[in-house]
Amino acid sequence: MNTLTRRDLLKTSALAAAALPFDSLESLLAQSADPNPWRGLKIGVATYTFRELPIEQCIAGVKRVGLQYVSIKNVKNHVDVTHTPEERKQRAQMFRDAGITPLSVGNVGMKADEAEIRRAFEYARDCGVKVMVCAPPKDAVPLLDKFVKEFDIKLAIHNHGPEDKQFPSPYDVMNAVEKYDPRIGLCIDVGHTARAKVDPAESIIKCRARLYDVHMKDISAMGDRNTPIEGGRGLLNTRSILAALLKIKYQGLVGFEYEKDGKDPLAGLAESAGYIKGILNSLKPAA
């Protein structure tokens, strides 16, 4: 009996591929590619990942890892509150021209000051997004209720873990906003949530009615200090987080906020994206 070795198989496959016309080979490769590697989730990048780099390098980095959605960080080298309205529109359009869709802005810090909050909403409006990730104090929520009605822009209040005296966990956000306009919701940061001793996957399920943005990451330690690390190398149960997002049919941004290696984040971002894609593939039901 003849035994077909791995080397023979590869050789035979290579010869067969070489014999195909180029257009047939291209068609074959296209058919083998997964048309939906993200399982319908809007996986993208929180551009805070590229905060130390100019907007051009940020855009190139997002494209390099094959992602199509962003949350624009309000820093001067990307798109900032300090830019004029026309500059904001032009710089946000740079992402769209590159085939990248901005779904939100932030994290935007703000005080309980009407003029400051209005500037933040005008900034989000000029960027052309319908969600603003933000970090207000609790006493600003009544004012925020007024402005979500005026601008029809959803707010995703960001929780920052145990050192955050306002909103350590997603449940603190929900408790503060539940009696206000439903457009005031939250951004669940899975790393900070875990550090606040809350299960990120469980909070996604429980807060789904007002979940408008997600910051995806991994951490190397719990406690009061943020310890970012490449996805898959840390402590978080990423599989359960993704399963929860799929369960609720979440349609907002799942943005990688890779906070490590600020001057050169591309390799760590690519590793994190590949890890997520692998998990999502493993979550697919058997054929």
Per-residue DSSP letters for 23-75? HHHHHHHHHHS-S-TTTT-EEEEEGGGGTTS-HHHHHHHHHHTT--EEEE---
The domains of the chain are located at: 41-282
Long-range contacts of 199-205 (CB under 8 A, 24+ apart): 199/240, 200/236, 200/237, 200/240, 200/241, 200/244, 201/237, 201/240, 201/241, 201/243, 201/244, 202/244, 203/169, 203/170, 203/171, 204/241, 204/244, 204/245, 204/248, 204/250, 205/244, 205/247, 205/248
pLDDT number for residue 27: 47
Taking the C-alpha atoms of residue 212 and residue 203, their distance in angstroms, rounded to an integer, is 13
CB 65 within 8 A of CB 266: yes
Give the CATH fold of the 41-282 domain.
TIM Barrel (3.20.20)
Q: Which two tokens stand for residue 245?
A: 């997002």
Tens digit of each residue's pLDDT, the chain (287 residues): 344 443 443 344 444 444 445 444 444 434 445 667 899 999 999 999 999 999 999 999 999 999 999 999 999 999 999 999 999 999 999 999 999 999 999 999 999 999 999 999 999 999 999 999 999 999 999 999 999 999 999 999 999 999 999 999 999 999 999 999 999 999 999 999 999 999 999 999 999 999 999 999 999 999 999 999 999 999 999 999 999 999 999 999 999 999 999 999 999 999 999 999 999 999 976 44
pLDDT number for residue 10: 39
Its pTM stands at: 0.88
Taking the C-alpha atoms of residue 143 and residue 114, their distance in angstroms, rounded to an integer, is 7
Taking the C-alpha atoms of residue 136 and residue 5, their distance in angstroms, rounded to an integer, is 63
Tracing tokens 């206000």 back to the chain, one arrives at: 180
Taking the C-alpha atoms of residue 123 and residue 129, their distance in angstroms, rounded to an integer, is 9
Taking the C-alpha atoms of residue 148 and residue 138, their distance in angstroms, rounded to an integer, is 16
Taking the C-alpha atoms of residue 230 and residue 258, their distance in angstroms, rounded to an integer, is 7
Cα radius of gyration rounded to whole Å, the chain: 21
